[in-house]
Amino acid sequence: MRTNVNLADDARQFAEVYAHANGITLGDAITDLIRKGQSAATVAPEPTKFAFGPSGFPIFPPNGRILTTEMVRQAELDDID
């Protein structure tokens, strides 16, 4: 179906970049983005599950990389430079 719409400049630019990146037309990109937005709005976010440490404070589940004190110190030094 052919129709005319007025888009904000930033929305049009985003849709154009999306279309170019996916090798599709602007109309197909806008359709795809609308459908993705619609499905995202209907999916309930999964709540973050916290565990509790021995002291009773909430902690993140043990998945992923462990953040060490040395890593924090290095990040602080990198941020200062």
> Distance between CA atoms of 30 and 18, rounded to whole angstroms?
9
Q: Per-residue pLDDT for the chain (81 aa), expressed as one digit of tens each?
A: 888 989 999 999 999 999 999 999 999 999 999 999 888 767 677 776 777 888 888 777 666 677 788 888 888 888 765
pLDDT of residue 73: 87
Q: Write down the domain spans for the chain.
A: 9-42, 51-80
